[in-house]
């Protein structure tokens, strides 16, 4: 017996109302009901970070959030990261550093990295590695990802200092 509820949220700055089952995760609703397939499913149990989104400005695994919990809250997904002028600097840095191969982990890494730099604009390499420990990547070996994030941070610092 499916229990359906209506949920009102703001997703990537758009008022969004959807109907879902109480047992559906935010990840399922984003992908299957709203067609926002940028957010990926890796493990489905909180270990890989591929599904990361911001919920009311806090980094969370969308596979471990019920969609009904998003009622009245704001959600930011990878689709909301690029700016009107083009790619977000973190996205650009991932391209320039070849910080992705198959790409399934990339949306999660970009959301996490953005959350880090918002909170700590000048992280050390240790800070970056620790913050990203909940994001798994099977392909890159992580190093290029860490370089990309540090590069964006130092570019940001240069700008702030200029």
Ligand X SMILES: Cc1cc2nc3c(=O)[nH]c(=O)nc-3n(C[C@H](O)[C@H](O)[C@H](O)COP(=O)(O)OP(=O)(O)OC[C@H]3O[C@@H](n4cnc5c(N)ncnc54)[C@H](O)[C@@H]3O)c2cc1C
Please state the closest distance from residue 136 (CB atom) to another protein, in A.
9
8, 47, 120, 122: which one contacts ligand X (CB under 6 A)?
47
Show the site string, 1-40: x = touches ligand FES by CB under 6 A, - = not.
----------------------------------------
Burial class (CB in 10 A: 0-12, 13-18, 19+), 87: middle
8, 23, 46, 103: which one contacts ligand X (CB under 6 A)?
46
Cβ nearer to ligand X, comparing 61 with 140:
61
Rounded to whole angstroms, the Cα distance separating 17 from 19 reads: 7
13-21, 75-83, 85-93, 137-145 -> range binding ligand FES (CB under 6 A):
137-145
Tokens of 131: 């913050």
Q: Cα angle at 51 between 53 and 3, to 5 degrees?
A: 90
Q: How many CB atoms lie within 10 A of CB 121?
A: 12
Q: Does 158 bind another protein (CB under 8 A)?
A: no
Q: Indicate the SS3 state at residue 74.
A: strand
**Which residues here bind ligand FES, judged by CB under 6 A?**
41-44, 46-51, 61, 63, 100-105, 137-140
């Amino acid at each position: 017996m499916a229990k359906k509820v209506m949920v009102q949220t703001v997703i990537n700055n758009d008022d969004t109302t959807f109907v879902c089952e109480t047992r559906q995760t935010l990840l399922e609703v984003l992908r299957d009901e709203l067609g926002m397939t940028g957010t990926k499913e890796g493990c489905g149990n909180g270990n890989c970070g591929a599904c990361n989104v911001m919920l009311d400005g806090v980094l969370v695994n969308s596979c471990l959030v019920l969609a009904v919990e998003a009622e009245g809250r704001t959600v930011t997904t990878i689709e909301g990261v690029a700016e009107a002028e083009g790619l977000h600097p973190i996205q650009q840095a991932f391209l320039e550093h070849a910080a992705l191969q198959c790409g399934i982990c990339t949306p999660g890494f970009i959301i996490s990295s953005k959350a880090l730099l918002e909170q700590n604009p000048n992280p050390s390499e240790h800070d970056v590695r620790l913050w990203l420990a909940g994001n798994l990547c099977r392909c890159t070996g992580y190093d290029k990802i860490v370089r990309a994030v540090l590069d964006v941070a130092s570019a940001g610092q240069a700008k702030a200092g200029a």
